[in-house]
């Protein structure tokens, strides 16, 4: 089996895992991986993560032209914005996961640090998460907003929509997205209870120990 075929299978396997655990439903959410030739392999538009066909994944060339598979997700501008501004990005995951969407709608959520540092792993896998305003789905302005961050964030939360997370490879992007959802869930479960999160000193220690970009 070729490396590309293995990657196609991996996308479908991880996507089904995401779907089966209720992290995104219906035909929502999308995944992409950057290929060695500069192109992108992505989930198609209108597809369910629970029933993806490896052979029908969208392949785009380095200029964004479809060269095989079904029509691409309309959220491709979100993905290319991360690839173009963060050289280390190898994959991007976008979900409509319930707790992170809920957190994006709460007025107390900090736009510059939407995911509170409740655990070391949220800091390690996400850094600071920027809350971006609402955009109509598919609006290229979403990609422009990510580009405006100049590669300083690996994850954003789209208001009333969901998270978009970049990782060095597909597994890293999926795990980070799951961490974002779980920390959002913790934040909502403990809201109003005065939870004791990490102190600034503890966050600094995690950042220093694991070399995290937490600007």
* Interval 84-140: pLDDT, tens: 999 999 999 999 999 999 999 999 999 999 999 999 999 999 999 999 999 999 899
Does residue 1 register a pLDDT over 70? no
Alpha-carbon gap, residue 180 to 81, rounded angstroms = 20
**Residues 77, 143: contact at Cβ < 8 Å?**
yes
121 is catalytic: yes
**Alpha helices, H only, 48-169:** 76-85, 98-105, 120-126, 141-147
181 is catalytic: no
pTM for the whole thing? 0.95
Q: Please state the domain extents for the chain.
A: 3-210
Phi, psi of 172 (to 5 degrees): -60, -40
Closest of 198, 94, 215 to residue 156, by C-alpha: 94
Active-site pick, 3, 19, 75, 171? 75
Question: For a pLDDT cut of 90, what percent of the chain falls above it?
Answer: 90
Specify the CATH class of 3-210 in words: alpha beta
- Tokens standing for 140? 């290229």
**Which residues on adjacent β-strands are paired with residue 42?**
32, 58
Active-site pick, 3, 9, 83, 121? 121
Q: Starting at the edge strand that comes first in sequence, how are the strands of the sheet with 30-34 ordered?
A: 66-68, 58-60, 40-42, 30-34, 91-94, 162-167, 155-158, 130-132
Closest of 187, 185, 191, 134 to residue 157, by C-alpha: 134
Model confidence band, residue 161 (pLDDT cutoffs 50, 70, 90): very high
Does residue 215 register a pLDDT over 80? no
Q: How does pLDDT run across 14-42, given as a tens digit for each residue?
A: 999 999 999 998 989 999 999 999 999 99
């Amino acid at each position: 089996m070729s490396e590309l075929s293995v990657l196609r299978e991996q996308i479908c396997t991880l996507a089904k895992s995401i779907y089966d655990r209720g992290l995104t439903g219906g035909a929502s959410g999308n995944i992409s991986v950057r290929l060695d030739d500069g192109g992108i392999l992505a989930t198609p538009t209108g597809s369910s993560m629970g029933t993806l066909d490896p052979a029908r994944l969208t392949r785009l060339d380095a200029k964004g032209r479809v060269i095989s598979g079904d029509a691409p997700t309309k959220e491709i501008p979100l993905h290319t914005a991360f690839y173009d501004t963060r050289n280390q990005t190898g994959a991007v995951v976008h979900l409509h996961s319930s707790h992170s969407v809920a957190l994006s709608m709460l007025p107390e959520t900090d736009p510059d640090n939407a995911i509170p540092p409740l655990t070391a792993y949220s800091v390690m896998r996400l850094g600071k998460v920027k809350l971006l305003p609402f955009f109509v789905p598919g609006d290229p302005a979403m990609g422009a907003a990510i580009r405006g961050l100049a590669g300083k964030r690996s994850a954003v939360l789209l208001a009333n929509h969901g998270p978009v997370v970049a990782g060095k490879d597909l597994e890293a992007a999926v795990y980070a997205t799951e961490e974002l959802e779980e920390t959002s869930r913790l934040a909502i479960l403990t809201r109003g209870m005065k939870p004791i999160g990490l102190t600034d000193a503890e966050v600094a220690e995690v950042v220093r120990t694991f070399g995290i970009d937490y600007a």
